[in-house]
Amino acid sequence: MQLLLIIFFELLVLFWLTRATLISLFKLLQAIFEKDQTTYSVIALIYFPGTVLHELSHMIAALFLLLKVADIHVFPTWKNNVIILGRVLYEKKDVLRSILVGIAPLFGGIIFLGWLSVLDVSTSSNLLLQILVIYLVFTISSTMFSSKQDLVDFLYVIPIGIMITIVYYIIQPDFTLISKLIRDLEAPRKILYAITQYLLLSISIHTIFIIIVMSGRFIKNRLLK
């Protein structure tokens, strides 16, 4: 249970950091290339693996919930000077399934990080493989949060969450058995621990990048004075 709480907290931190990183990256690339479309193209290329997993997660969730998928795009498009990294068009029948499809990339990203831990690639002595893992962790964790369009129906979660909380305090369920089962199963515990480490790695990458960009901007402004 403690590992799940750590993952939840790390995801909250990442949710803010990924957006701050994207803004900083956009401004940095815009200053370099001076053309929005070139900037969008480079950003789309950087985040491409994450975009693919993001949209595939939507599609798989929609199909699993028996919703017809009309179209899927994993390549970027530009609309009104705004980049759309990808999109999945599917039929919407009810709020609950729309919410589940909307948040599917979050679980898709976590499952991918768990898969990396099973492969145990982090212990490899191959430098190129290590760099690839770091890059994948960065781009997957950066794109597993749903966009505003994905979460149009997510506001309904608030009253549902309040109702679940009320029921929880009324019933007072005992999760001792589940917690003990997780502790006794070594493999799931190792996977959860590895996921916390990958998320921590992503947080570190985002934080370092933001600090470097902000420091460079500060130095530039000081020199121009």
Residue 221 inside a domain? The answer is no
Confidence of residue 95 (pLDDT cuts 50, 70, 90): confident
pLDDT given for residue 203 in this prediction: 92
pLDDT given for residue 43 in this prediction: 87
Residue 116 inside a domain? The answer is yes
* Three-state helix/strand/coil letters over the chain: CHHHHHHHHHHHHHHHHHHHHHHHHHHHHHHHHCCHHHHHHHHHHHCHHHHHHHHHHHHHHHHHCCCCEEEEECCCEEECCEEECCEEEECCCCHHHHHHHHCHHHHHHHHHHHHHHHHCHHHCCCHHHHHHHHHHHHHHHHHCCCCCCCCCCHHHHHHHHHHHHHHHHHHCCCCHHHHHHHHHCHHHHHHHHHHHHHHHHHHHHHHHHHHHHHHHHHHHHHHHC
pLDDT given for residue 164 in this prediction: 73
The average pLDDT across 151-179 equals 65
The average pLDDT across 139-163 equals 69
Mean pLDDT of the chain: 80
State the residue range of the domain holding 185.
2-213
Q: What is the reported pTM? A: 0.77
Residue 219 inside a domain? The answer is no
**Token digits of residue 46:** 């950087």
Q: How many domains does the chain have?
A: 1
- Cα-based distances in Å from 178 to 114, 174, 175, 185: 20, 9, 5, 11
Phi, psi for 69 (deg, rounded to 5)? -95, 120
Contacts within 8 Å (CB) and 24+ apart, 157-163: 157/99
Residue 223 inside a domain? The answer is no
What are residue 88's DSSP bridge partners? 72
Pick from 31-45, 100-114, 181-195 the range whose average pLDDT is largest.
100-114
Residue 225 inside a domain? The answer is no
C-alpha span between 84 and 217 (Å, rounded): 27
pLDDT tens per residue, range 166-210: 776 777 666 565 565 555 566 677 888 888 989 999 999 999 988
Is the confidence at residue 146, as pLDDT, over 70? Answer: no
pLDDT given for residue 88 in this prediction: 84
pLDDT given for residue 154 in this prediction: 54
The average pLDDT across 29-46 equals 83
pLDDT given for residue 207 in this prediction: 92
Confidence of residue 148 (pLDDT cuts 50, 70, 90): low
pLDDT given for residue 152 in this prediction: 56
Cβ-proximal residues to 179 (8 Å cutoff; 6+ apart), any chain: 1
Residue 16 inside a domain? The answer is yes
